[in-house]
Structure 1
């Protein structure tokens, strides 16, 4: 095999490895502002909430690496203008970087209680990407 052929095979193998599907939970900030994001999930026995990831406008970030371990994940996000993406699933958070075990008795344990929105990734999903977008202005009457 010539040196040129060997290099082509090595490059082809590297490209195949790079193009293999990644199994991650990602979030993309498709807004015009920087957002701060928190994520919560369960392993079937215990709840974990963690944050903050700070994403610039039009940026994406991998929040969890590897195949998804659960069907449901929970996200809370806020932008620098006071906008929020929230829901009715309450988890423990705090103002600065955190990783909190459990979702009960947030106030008693010295944490805030924050409403996250639910993401249903389906039973067999191995990866997922959440797309945050600017709210659509409602029509005035």
Structure 2
């Protein structure tokens, strides 16, 4: 009986890259990654309070992704040290150099090492937003 109950869970398990927002504010999310033709940054996915969004559907094709998020009221961000291009409205930008001359802004993305995982989830928290220590500014893991 327990095998029959577990089987549907296995069949419907999805590989993807998701972001879950457990903060008290809506969050805008951008993602960067390398393709065969070069670097790409994309955004904005709007992730309301207590919701999750899938940024990449299907198994992850890369080991490294680059993540940036900011609160909708501009009251903080989850940033790193890798510069990529962004803009205020929805975007897909090829390349990471010469952001300003091309009419874009710069943001500092955090490198996410997914190892050999086919799925990844980032959980944004108020604590990670306001934590100024050396520890990671977001938490990520492979779903069970």
Match of 2:27 in 1: 35
Give the alignment's TM-score, normalised by structure 2: 0.78
Q: Which ranges of 4 or more aligned residues in structure 1 deviate by more than 2 Å?
A: 15-21, 135-138
Task: Summarize deviations over 1:89-136 as a string: whole Å, max 9, x none.
Answer: 0000000000001111111111101101111100x2111001111126
User: Is 1:90 aligned with 2:83?
Assistant: yes
Question: Offset of 1:32 from its aligned partner?
Answer: 1.2
Q: Which piece of structure 1 moves more, 58-67 or 74-83?
A: 74-83
SS at match of 2:61: coil
Q: Which has the larger radius of gyration?
A: 1
Gaps of 5+ in 2: 132-144
User: Is 1:60 aligned with 2:52?
Assistant: yes
Query: How far apart are the structure 1 equivalents of 2:99 and 2:12?
Result: 40
Structural mapping, 1:1-141, within 5 Å: 16=8, 19-43=11-35, 45-81=37-73, 82-122=75-115, 124-135=116-127
Gaps of 5+ in 1: 1-11
Give the alignment's TM-score, normalised by structure 1: 0.80
Query: How far apart are the structure 1 equivalents of 2:103 and 2:28?
Result: 21
Question: Offset of 1:45 from its aligned partner?
Answer: 4.5
Aligned residues: 124
